[in-house]
Structure 1
Amino acid sequence: MENELYSIGKVGEICKITKKALRYYDEMGILSPDKVADESGYRYYSKKNLLSVPIIKYYKQSGFKLDEMRGFLEGKTYDFFDKSFRKKIDELKELEREINLKIRSVKDWHDLIVEAQMVIENNVSNVAIKYIDSRTLTFLEQDFKYDYMDSIINIEFNNYIDSINNAITGPVIICFPSFEDKINRKCSKMKIMQETILKCKEEESIEFGGCIVAACYHIGSHETINETYKKIQTWTEEYGYICSEESYERYVTDYWTTKNVDKFVTEVLIKVRREN
């Protein structure tokens, strides 16, 4: 049995590996046949060589590339193994961080799509009082010119996020210093805010929420959002609430998600308190 040789087909059958993969391992100097027939060119492997296949599979499963395996299969020192494995652990941890970031980004975006779908399907457009949990966002103060697309898909803000070595997730939120100025097209300033994946420095952060707000979803174009502001004004006056000056527009779905403005969903939020 020790001297028995196995054809490439038999090795493939026993080890559940393709002939193509075995030929590639030979080209890479990872696993070469013990014998190649002169006339036919058939490849034959010893039992000892055949047993290298599970080891190669395990290294591959662990994330090692073929050229990285060569030193392991050559029987290098434990010091070589130690350094190589530590390096691979660091690489995989970085890969894990990148994957988790992508999962978080996709999940948060998907949550917004589901929220918008539910709002549209159920025509949720009534004013409601609710508590907004406090959270830390990053922000950038900018001029506002009533160009919603430019304000929401905000190149300057995205460049700023890159400059602080961070990444954003969740909805864009814009704070307007005076909702009455916003309604009357007199608003010239805004504060764009969004959640970051990594923790921000104190000077890059702003607290959002931790308060009671009058909230109302606006379905459709941002150009008609004044209708929702007026609805909030009327409702709060009727039920004895006083609105603060600031307002927030939380863009659930917008130009980032769809080109159909009729499917845009924006949540308008205004801090309120009861009249004395």
Structure 2
Amino acid sequence: MENELYSIGKIGEMCKITKKALRYYDKMGILAPDKVAGESGYRYYSKENLLAVPVIKYYKQSGFKLDEMKEFLNGTTYDSFDKSFRKKIDELRELDREINLKIRSVKDWHNLIVEAQMVIENNICDVTVKYIESSTLIFLEQDFKYDYMDSIINIKFNNYIDSINNAITGPVIISFPSFQDKINGNCSKMRIMQETILKSKEELTIEFGGYMAIACYHIGSHETINETYKKIQQWADTHGYICSEECCERYVTDYWTTKNVDKFVTEILIKVKRKK
């Protein structure tokens, strides 16, 4: 048995590996056959080579590339192993960070799409009072010119996030100093806010929420959002609430998701307190 040679087909059958992979390993100098028969070119492998296949599979499972395996398979020092494995651990940690970032981004965006779909399907446009949980957001003060597309898909804000080596997720939230000025077309300032995936320096962030707010979804174009503000104001007056001047628009779905403005969903949030 020690001297027995196995055909490439037998190796493939025993080790659950394709002939194509074995030929490629040969080409890369990872696993050469012990014998190649004359004109037929049939490859034959010894038991020692046969046992190298599970080792190669394990290195592959661990994230090593074929050229990285070559040194290990040919024999190397423990010091070389240590350096190579430490380097691979660092690479895999960075890969894990990138994958988790992508998963978080896609999951958060999917949640917004589901939220918008439920709002539209159930026509949820009633005014309510709810507690807004506190969160820490990255922010940037900007001028506001009633150009919603430019404000939401915000190039300056995205460049700013890149400059601090961070990534954003969740809905864009824009805060306006006065909802009355905004309704009357006199609003010239805004604060764009969004959650970051990586931790930001404290001086770059702002606390959002942690209070009771009047909330109402607006379905459709941002150009008609004043109608929802007026509905909120009337509801507050009727039910004995005092609205603060500052207001926030939380863009559940917008230009980032669809070009159909009729499918936009925006949640208006205004801090409130009861009249005495």
TM-score for both structures, normalised by structure 1: 0.99
Q: 2:18 corresponds to which letter in structure 1?
A: T
Gaps of 5+ in 2: none
Q: What SS does the corresponding residue of 1:32 show, helix, strand or coil?
A: coil
1:86 corresponds to: 86
Deviations 1:178-218 (A, max 9, x none): 10010011111100000001111122101100011000000
1:202 and 1:101 map into 2 onto residues whose CA distance is: 21
Shift of 1:92: 0.7
Q: Aligned partners of 1:256, 1:39: CA distance in 2, in Å? A: 62
- Partner of 2:123 in structure 1? 123
1:223-273 CA distances to partner (integer Å, 9 max, x unpaired)? 000010000000000011011100000000000001110000000000111
RMSD, aligned CA: 0.6
Q: In the comparison of the two structures, how many residue pairs are matched?
A: 276
**Structure 1 residue 29 corresponds to structure 2 residue 29:** yes
SS in 1 for 2:191: strand
Provide the rounded CA distance (Å) in 1 between the counterparts of 2:145 and 2:203: 26
- 1:146-175, CA deviations, whole angstroms, 9 ceiling, x for partnerless residues? 110000000000000000110000000000
CA-to-partner distance for each residue in 1:108-138, whole Å, 9 max, x for gaps? 1011001001100110000000000111000
Q: For residues 60-209 of structure 1, what are the structure 2 equivalents within 5 Å?
A: 60-209=60-209
TM-score where L is the length of structure 2: 0.99
For the residue of structure 2 that corresponds to 1:214, the secondary structure is strand
Runs of 4+ displaced beyond 3 Å: none
What CA distance in whole angstroms lies between the structure 1 residues aligned with 2:140 and 2:63?
Answer: 40
Aligned partner of 1:75: which letter? G
Unmatched segments (≥5 aa) in structure 1: none
Tell me, in whole angstroms, the C-alpha distance in 1 between the residues paired with 2:167 and 2:40: 58
Query: Residue deviations 1:22-71, cap 9 Å, x none?
Result: 01100111000001112211111011111100100010001000000011
Instruction: Report sequence identity in percent.
Output: 83
Q: Structure 2: how far apart are the matches of 1:126 and 1:39?
A: 82
Rounded Cα–Cα distance in structure 2 between residues aligned with 1:204 and 1:163:
12
Q: Which amino acid aligns with 2:191?
A: K
Which residue number corresponds to residue 13 of structure 1?
13
| Alpha-carbon distance in structure 2 between the residues aligned to 1:27 and 1:79 | 28
